[in-house]
Amino acid sequence: MLFRREVLEGIAGGRIDRVFRVWAQPRVRAGSTQRTWAGIVVIDSVTPVTPEEITEEDALRSGFQDREALLTALSKSRKEGGYHRVMLHLGGPDPRSELAADADLTDRELAGLKAELDAVDARSRRAPWTREVLRLIEEHPGLRAMDLAERLDRDKLPFKSDVRRLKALGLTESLETGYRLSPRGKALMAYLRSSGE
C-alpha cells in the first residue's frame, strides 16, 4: 500500500490514523505492518464501508479538509471495487533506518560489512555487483531506479531487488524518487576507497 509523503507525515505526527482505499479485495490485513521512511506503519483494521458510512471525522483523520473532499478523491479512483477504511498507527522506527544512520563504525565493523558484501557477490549468479551499485547510487542520488538500471544495462525490477538487499544492510536509503547512500553506506565507501577498492 502506497502512502503520499504528507500522509506519512500525518501518521508520524499522530494527525492521521486512517486511510481510505478502493479495492475489490483488501490488499492488507489487520495486524500486518509496512515499512516506510517514516517508520513501521501498523494496520489495526480493514473495514468495507459505504459512502454513507464515511464521516466528517473520517475525512479529518485521513488528512482531508472535509467529507466532501474525501468522497471526491475516492470517486476519482480508476480502480474497481468498494471503499475500505484502513485504521493504522505508527508502530515505531524502521530498524533499517536506525542501522542506516549509524556511521560511527570501527575498522572491525567496516571490515565485517565489506565481508558481507563479498559474501553477497560470491552467491550472485552473475558478476559481483554490490560495489558497482553502491558507486552508482553515490554518484547519482535521487535518480530514478529505471534510469540507474539502464546505466548498468539491467532490468528495473531485479535492480530494485538488489538495492533492497543493500538497504537491509543499512547502506542505502530510499528517497521519494531514487536512492542515496545512508551515513553508514558513506562510511563504508570511504573505507573501501582507503583500502584500495
Q: Check residue 31 and give its pLDDT.
A: 94
By residue count, the chain amounts to 197
Residue 192 confidence (pLDDT) above 80: yes
Grid coordinates of 35: 515499512
| Predicted confidence (pLDDT) per residue in 17-39, tens digit | 999 999 999 999 999 999 887 88
Give me the mean pLDDT over the 68-97 stretch.
91
Q: Check residue 145 and give its pLDDT.
A: 92
Rounded Cα gap, residues 102 and 43, in angstroms: 28
pTM of the predicted protein model: 0.60
Rounded Cα gap, residues 60 and 47, in angstroms: 18
Contacts of 88 (CB under 8 A, 6+ apart): 11, 17, 18, 19, 41, 42, 43, 44
Contacts of 132 (CB under 8 A, 6+ apart): 152
